[in-house]
């Protein structure tokens, strides 16, 4: 089967086509600046990268480009060869604990979750509608970021707020990056050849979250009602006192929207040192920039604190996995995090750690908890779920 995966943002869209059950990726691409000036997309096939500058007024045009590319590049001879389409949806609330075939009832239910993810859900749902027009009669599957976390117990997903807020308005911890954490949990079991593992999955990139997993069940995760909370990120602050919002409105004359935009888009690493990309932060550190050093110390301290907390919550983790942009590629960030949890008996092997983007254990044989780097693959997880539901 050939499965198309779609990961839509408000002005971007990633896609891949996998051959399943072989799990072979045939092509992938990334559309950027959809609906904006200067739009373009890149396609990767057979190790070659192709760049296209093109006006992309909406996601439907992007989907038409996919149809054109996969025919012209010989990925398929006919669009009928696409057996299913998997869509990433950031929010499924408490309704969806696993991926589902998309029908009118699913779309109606997901409309309710727009208010819980205003930045992402509208674009994702509009992309599903566009896909229905672009790929008529092809079955589609919704894969939810929140689904994996629905195994959390109330003691960990409830906030200490009036219980009626949860009952009437759905205010609780939902967690995100669930597809990535689920992939990491599945993959590390394959690598170690073990089931019933206690895993601390660390998805650390521009967006970042940690997840404590016990025998395939999420015990706790760092992101909460929204993706803003938990550890510090590229442009988000992580855990922050909500009283700051009212204070800045009063003292700086900011509107609620201005404060929330600042917290979502101009905080985190960028807020401290003016750089949201960790590579620029590391360059700043090497150039002697004290604010970049502070930002790195803050980021790695917060990740380390959650690792220690989740190790305690799991009564001792069997393995820690680092993934996503920083986890996979920044050897210095890995060192900075793991040195801050040396009290757990973790011993990093700096020679083993000297690499980028591979599956590898980076701790010594005497380390009390092994630490692995495992590149995440959310697209493959989406494709596998789609394959299993449509086959």
Q: Which CATH superfamily is domain 2-144 in?
A: ATPase, nucleotide binding domain (3.30.420.40)
Residue with tokens 């819980």, as numbered in its chain: 116
**Per-domain residue ranges of the chain:** 2-144, 193-378
**pLDDT at position 270:** 94
234 vs 204: CA distance, rounded Å: 10
DSSP 127-145: HHHHHHHHSTT--EEEEET
- Rounded to an integer, the average pLDDT of 253-271 is 94
Tell me the residue ranges of DSSP E strands in the chain: 2-8, 12-19, 24-32, 40-45, 48-53, 82-89, 100-101, 140-144, 198-204, 208-214, 217-221, 319-323, 360-361, 371-373
Of 105, 145, 220, 280, the active-site residue reads 145
Percent of the chain with pLDDT over 90: 81
pLDDT value of position 33: 84
- Tokens for 239, please give them: 């855990």
Instruction: Give yes or no: 289 in active site.
Output: no
Q: Convert the pLDDT of each residue in 246-259 to its tens digit.
A: 999 999 999 999 99
Residue count of the chain? 391
Residue 355: what pLDDT?
94
The 8-class DSSP code of residue 20 comes to T
SS3 content of the chain, % helix, strand, coil (to 5): 45, 20, 35
Q: Binning pLDDT at 50, 70 and 90, where does residue 279 land?
A: confident
For 173-227, what is each residue's pLDDT tens digit?
Answer: 999 999 999 999 999 999 999 999 999 999 998 889 999 999 999 999 999 999 8
pLDDT for the residue 122? 83
Q: pTM above the 0.85 mark?
A: yes
pLDDT tens per residue, range 284-317: 999 999 999 999 999 999 999 999 999 999 999 9
Buried b (16+ CB within 10 A) or exposed e, 250-266: eeeebeeeebeebbbee
pLDDT, residue 299, reads 96
* 136 Cβ contact list (under 8 Å, min separation 6): none
Class of domain 193-378 (CATH, top level): alpha beta
Q: How far apart are the first and last CA of the chain?
A: 8
Give the pLDDT of residue 177: 93
Asked if 88 contacts 16 with a C-beta cutoff of 8 angstroms, the reply is: no
pLDDT in tens, 5-50: 998 876 788 999 999 999 999 999 999 888 888 899 999 999 899 9
For residue range 98-136, what is the model confidence (pLDDT) as tens digits?
999 999 999 999 988 888 887 778 888 888 988 888 788
pLDDT score, position 137: 87
CB atoms inside a 10 Å sphere around CB 175: 27
Output the pLDDT for position 34: 84
Residue 377 predicted with pLDDT over 90:
yes
Tens-place pLDDT, residues 48-88: 999 999 999 888 888 889 999 999 999 999 888 999 999 99
Residue 116: the pLDDT is 85
């Amino acid at each position: 089967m050939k499965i198309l995966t779609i990961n839509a943002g408000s002005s971007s869209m990633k896609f891949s086509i996998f051959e399943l059950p072989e799990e072979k990726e045939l092509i992938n691409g990334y559309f950027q600046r959809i609906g904006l000036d200067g739009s373009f997309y890149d396609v990767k096939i057979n190790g070659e990268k192709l760049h296209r500058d093109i006006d992309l007024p909406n996601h439907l045009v992007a989907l038409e480009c996919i149809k054109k590319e996969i025919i012209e590049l010989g990925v398929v001879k006919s669009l009928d060869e696409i057996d299913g389409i998997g869509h990433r949806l950031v929010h499924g609330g408490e309704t969806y604990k696993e991926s589902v075939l998309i029908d009118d009832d699913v779309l109606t239910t997901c409309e309710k979750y727009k208010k819980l993810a205003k930045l992402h859900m509208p674009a994702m749902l509009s992309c599903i509608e566009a896909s229905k027009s672009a790929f008529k009669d092809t079955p589609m599957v919704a894969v939810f970021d929140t689904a994996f976390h629905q195994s959390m117990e109330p003691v960990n997903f409830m906030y200490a707020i009036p219980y009626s807020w949860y009952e009437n308005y759905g205010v609780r911890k939902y967690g995100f990056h669930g597809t990535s954490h689920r992939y990491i949990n599945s993959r590390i079991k394959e690598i170690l050849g073990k089931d019933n593992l206690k895993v601390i999955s660390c998805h650390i990139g521009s967006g970042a979250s940690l997840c404590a997993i016990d025998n395939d069940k999420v015990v706790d995760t760092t992101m909460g009602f929204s993706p803003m909370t938990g550890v510090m990120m590229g442009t988000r602050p992580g855990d922050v006192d909500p009283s700051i919002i009212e204070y800045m409105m009063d003292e700086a004359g900011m509107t609620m929207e201005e404060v929330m935009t600042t917290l979502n888009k101009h905080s985190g690493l960028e807020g401290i040192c003016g750089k949201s990309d960790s590579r620029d932060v590391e360059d700043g550190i090497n150039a002697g920039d004290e604010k970049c050093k502070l930002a790195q110390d803050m980021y790695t301290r917060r990740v380390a604190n959650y690792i220690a907390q989740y190790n305690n919550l799991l009564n001792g983790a069997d393995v820690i996995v680092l993934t996503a942009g920083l986890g996979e590629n920044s050897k210095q960030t890995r060192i900075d995090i793991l040195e801050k949890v040396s009290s757990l008996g973790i011993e990093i092997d700096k020679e083993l750690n000297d690499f980028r983007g591979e599956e590898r254990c980076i701790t010594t044989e005497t380390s009390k908890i092994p630490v692995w780097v495992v590149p995440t693959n959310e697209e493959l997880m989406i494709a596998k779920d789609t394959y299993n539901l449509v086959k």
